[in-house]
Amino acid sequence: MAENQSPPKSRIGDDIHVDLAGQMTYGDYLRLDTLFAAKRPLTDKHDEHLFIIIHHVHELWLNLMAHELDAAIANIRTDELPPAFKSMARMTRILEQMIRAWDVLSTMTPSDYLEFRNALGQSSGFQSFQYRMVEFRLGAKDPKMLLPHRHNADTHARLKAALDAPSLYDEALMLLKRRGFAIPDAVLQRDFAIRHVPSDAVRQAWLDVYRNSQTYFDLYELAEELVDLEDWFQQWRFRHMKTVERIIGFKRGTGGSSGVAFLKSALDHSFFPELWAVRTDL
């Protein structure tokens, strides 16, 4: 070899330890064997694989959303708004991914779905524990939604705790109260298992925040983060409804729900009603 000639560079990866016996690997850390073992089709139909994967993906994202909601609620409760904003911004990006997942499921035709639909029995997305947890945390409180979980004591107890606890919006209104806004005691001392009822006083408080956004900039930013979160959640709900309509039309859902009609009705309910109403007042 000539003196001015450099030794050949190793290819990327050549210096990575190859013997992984006894070491944590990528698959070990993510428990991929467990993850993939959870996919157990009940038929040999090609599109059941897609159906299971899409719902697994949704459940994983919902799990992360519930995690971020818990953090946002805790941070607002302690007046730490920047970390709460980060969690809410992350949730909107999660919802963006969940919306795109419906696009993948929409490649399944009605005929494809009918090949394995009967094998699903009474199982239904309506029974998703994590979806209900997210809705309760956002403020869509309805004690009747506990009924599908009566058979599982642990799940029922966790959902009941979320039902009875202040929602993300309740914590935001408590923050307004702490900042000196005239939020009625009837709003903040009610039974939190009941959905928040729109209040003129709350609407006025948010109007004051918007009209004096430079003075109350962190509250103004909180309001916009909440609106952004609901906007994306409603887009996800809408895409869900249209995907179901595209695949099964107006048939009843597998778990006995009214299917598309039920999904459409959810679009009429707002988590943060005064934040949408105040736009008319500005």
Q: For 126-138, what is each residue's pLDDT tens digit?
A: 899 999 999 999 9
pLDDT class of 267 with cuts at 50, 70, 90? confident
What pLDDT does residue 268 have?
Answer: 84
Angle between helices 81-105 and 46-77 (to 10 degrees): 170
Predicted confidence (pLDDT) per residue in 3-53, tens digit: 555 555 545 555 555 788 888 999 999 999 999 999 999 999 999 999 999
What pLDDT does residue 136 have?
Answer: 97
Domain boundaries, the chain: 45-116+125-281
Query: 188 or 269: which carries more pLDDT confidence?
Result: 188
Q: Taking residues 164-176, what's their average pLDDT?
A: 98
What pLDDT does residue 192 have?
Answer: 97
What pLDDT does residue 69 have?
Answer: 98
113-127, 172-186, 207-221, 267-281: least confidently modelled range: 113-127
Is the predicted pLDDT of residue 66 greater than 70, yes or no? yes
Report pTM: 0.89
Is the predicted pLDDT of residue 258 greater than 70, yes or no? no
Do 213 and 258 touch, CB atoms closer than 8 A?
no
Is the predicted pLDDT of residue 232 greater than 70, yes or no? yes
pLDDT class of 169 with cuts at 50, 70, 90? very high
Q: Taking residues 176-203, what's their average pLDDT?
A: 96
Q: Taking residues 63-71, what's their average pLDDT?
A: 97
Q: Taking residues 70-74, what's their average pLDDT?
A: 98
What pLDDT does residue 250 have?
Answer: 74
Return the CATH number of 45-116+125-281, one of 1.10.3720.10, 3.40.1350.10, 3.40.640.10, 1.20.58.480.
Answer: 1.20.58.480
Q: Taking residues 90-95, what's their average pLDDT?
A: 98
What pLDDT does residue 11 have?
Answer: 57
Q: Taking residues 202-231, what's their average pLDDT?
A: 98
Is the predicted pLDDT of residue 154 greater than 60, yes or no? yes
Percentage of the chain exceeding pLDDT 70: 91
